[in-house]
Amino acid sequence: MLTRLEIDGFKTFENLAIDLLPFTVVLGTNAAGKSNLFDAIRLLSLLATKDVSEAMKEMRGEPLELFRLTPSGRCKQIRMAAEVLIDPSARDPWGSEVRLTHTRIRYQVTLERRHIRPGIERIQIAQESVEPILRKDDRWADAMSPSKSFRSNYLKYLRSKPWLTTEELPEGMAFSVHQDGKQGRNRPASAAEATVLSSITNGEFPHLFALREEMRHWRLLQLDPALLRKPVPATAADTLDADGANLAAVLAQLKLETATHQRPRGVLNDIAVELNHLIPGISSLDAKLDSTSREYRIELTMRDGLPFTSRVVSDGTLRVLALLTLLHDPRHRGLICFEEPENGVHPGRIRQLVRRLQDMVTSPQEYSADDGVVPLSQLLLNSHSPVVLSSLIDEDNAPIGGAILFADTATVSDPQRQEIRRKTRLRPVRPKQQGMKRKGDQGDLFSDDAVPQGFVSDLEVKRVLETVSGEG
């Protein structure tokens, strides 16, 4: 679970620092930087498993365009930090389970543009560190007011020394991996083209491996309706692709894994019920294998008994189906970034969709021992819809059930450089006053002294809400 993100020098971000809840929605107009935020999270995730060059190739735009452009030129560095709550155990590719003694971790990485020789530039890792967040410093955990069961099962604080540092040694700069059940090691840092984290592929260093697994599972869904409605080869992967192209195969696998004699379609029945609540008229869902073409196809049956394949289902229905499929997958874990959940959903059903999505993330406040120790789940949505905003606030325009962040651009005046710059800022909607809070409110996480960028005013919230009629 990503609990705090800091970005500097990446695209439109300059010294951004923002805390995140299990359910967070970023609202803003086009070109406000909402997608850039998702891109930063995706870059961090890619750097946990790939070298810098491969990670950059999978981003939107050319590698150089990822570095912030200001009137005085391109930034030389991208600095990012992520504070996370990781699952208390992880399983390596060979099935070995590692159990952790510390689950609150801060990861920092700096990418730097370096001239290797005239005309040749490389992007390399200049700094990388992994440090424990101490109990006394864990403002996020305190603000969440977690249940005793959640604190006991998920919040562990038995480490005080870092797992990874960047140090200057006699032989030069080096990444130092410190002891974590095994003896530590040093690696040269003068020309690193991959993170140390990406090389930790087993449980030899359990906390670094668990952090890598957490970041590897951060998902940015960019669902393509044209791909969602196509048949899927029987050999396709059964973990949902970012574009949703293998949705039928995922549904078929879920059906196989969860089917019983009483419920031959397993969890697909639950998904169909959820889908019908949001898009009325759907009575059942199935994923069938065509024996001739060896392809999986999605079939939806309507109340009148007529079946329809995904080829004729609306874009909005397919997008909601893909998201519900992922959230019902027992193998799902970690953060999902999803753009504009309201697309294709009737405005009158958006509130219900938002409420259902809120219910499907991990709630530290409402967790009980009966829930068992399951992988943590988190949703980060972005939207420009006032209807989504109206679904997230109460009668006093205070957030309920999660965090609401407004994305916009602000002007920075820099007398030292004698320039004016534009940057993306994220400001939270002000939470309820002390003594009026409810479970799921933003609480002390966004207190006055913790939000230097300021809050969204009540007037700004009302101005957006006044445009709701335009969503009909």
For residue 465, the enclosing domain spans 2-217+356-471
The answer to whether the CB of 294 falls within 8 A of the CB of 233 is: yes
The answer to whether the CB of 57 falls within 8 A of the CB of 436 is: no
Find tokens 């059964």 and name the residue.
238
Q: Which candidate, 240, 201, 198, places its Cα nearest to that of 334? A: 240
Instruction: In whole angstroms, give the CA distance from residue 77 to residue 89.
Output: 34
Mean pLDDT, all residues of the chain? 89
Instruction: In whole angstroms, give the CA distance from residue 50 to residue 136.
Output: 34
Asked if residue 181 and residue 311 are part of one domain, the reply reads: no
Could you tell me if residue 263 is inside a domain? Answer: yes
Find tokens 């990406």 and name the residue.
198
Could you tell me if residue 342 is inside a domain? Answer: no
Q: What is the pLDDT of residues 217-253, one digit of tens each?
A: 999 988 888 999 899 999 998 888 989 999 999 999 9
Any idea what the Cα angle at residue 25 is, between residues 19 and 28, rounded to 5°?
A: 105
Asked if residue 364 and residue 286 are part of one domain, the reply reads: no
Q: What is the pLDDT tens value at each position of the chain, 472 positions in all?
A: 999 999 999 999 999 999 999 999 999 988 888 999 999 999 999 999 999 999 999 998 889 999 999 998 999 999 999 999 999 998 888 888 889 999 999 999 999 999 888 888 899 999 999 999 999 999 999 988 899 999 999 999 999 999 999 998 887 889 999 988 767 778 778 778 999 999 999 888 999 999 999 999 999 988 888 999 899 999 998 888 989 999 999 999 999 999 999 999 999 999 999 898 888 888 999 999 998 999 999 999 988 888 888 888 888 889 889 989 988 888 788 999 998 888 878 888 888 889 888 888 999 999 887 777 888 999 999 999 999 999 998 888 888 888 999 999 999 888 888 889 999 999 999 876 544 444 445 556 776 667 777 888 889 999 999 886 544 4
Asked if residue 269 and residue 133 are part of one domain, the reply reads: no
Could you tell me if residue 337 is inside a domain? Answer: no
Asked if residue 260 and residue 207 are part of one domain, the reply reads: no
Asked if residue 260 and residue 158 are part of one domain, the reply reads: no
Query: Exposed, middle or buried, 17 (CB in 10 Å: 0-12/13-18/19+)?
Result: middle
Instruction: In whole angstroms, give the CA distance from residue 449 to residue 463.
Output: 26
Instruction: In whole angstroms, give the CA distance from residue 373 to residue 156.
Output: 13
How far, rounded to the nearest angstrom, does the alpha carbon of residue 141 sit from its chain's CA centroid?
18
Query: Exposed, middle or buried, 380 (CB in 10 Å: 0-12/13-18/19+)?
Result: buried
Asked if residue 205 and residue 119 are part of one domain, the reply reads: yes
Could you tell me if residue 267 is inside a domain? Answer: yes
Asked if residue 122 and residue 71 are part of one domain, the reply reads: yes
Asked if residue 260 and residue 210 are part of one domain, the reply reads: no
How far, rounded to the nearest angstrom, does the alpha carbon of residue 90 sit from its chain's CA centroid?
19
Asked if residue 410 and residue 389 are part of one domain, the reply reads: yes
Query: Exposed, middle or buried, 455 (CB in 10 Å: 0-12/13-18/19+)?
Result: middle
Residues contacting 337, CB < 8 A, separation 6+: 38, 41, 42, 218, 219, 220, 221, 380, 381, 382
Q: Which candidate, 39, 79, 45, places its Cα nearest to that of 59? A: 39
What is the number of alpha carbons within 13 Å of residue 377 lying toward its C-beta? Answer: 18
Instruction: In whole angstroms, give the CA distance from residue 106 to residue 84.
Output: 6
The first and second tokens of residue 179, run together, are 């002891």
Q: Which candidate, 77, 93, 67, 80, places its Cα nearest to that of 6? A: 80
State the pairing for strand pair 2-8/104-117.
Answer: unpaired
Asked if residue 111 and residue 254 are part of one domain, the reply reads: no
Instruction: In whole angstroms, give the CA distance from residue 55 to residue 43.
Output: 7
Residue 399 main-chain phi, psi, to 5 deg: -65, 145
Query: Exposed, middle or buried, 199 (CB in 10 Å: 0-12/13-18/19+)?
Result: middle
pTM for the model:
0.91
Considering its fold, how many domains does the chain have in total?
Answer: 2
Could you tell me if residue 101 is inside a domain? Answer: yes
* DSSP string computed for 394-420: -TTS-B-SSEEEEEEEEEEEETTTTEE
Instruction: In whole angstroms, give the CA distance from residue 395 to residue 307.
Output: 42
Dihedral of CA atoms 127, 129, 133, 139 in degrees, nearest 10, equals: 20
Could you tell me if residue 351 is inside a domain? Answer: no
Asked if residue 253 and residue 190 are part of one domain, the reply reads: no
Asked if residue 50 and residue 73 are part of one domain, the reply reads: yes
Could you tell me if residue 362 is inside a domain? Answer: yes
The answer to whether the CB of 270 falls within 8 A of the CB of 287 is: no
Query: Exposed, middle or buried, 432 (CB in 10 Å: 0-12/13-18/19+)?
Result: middle
Instruction: In whole angstroms, give the CA distance from residue 110 to residue 245.
Output: 33
Could you tell me if residue 320 is inside a domain? Answer: yes
Residues contacting 434, CB < 8 A, separation 6+: none
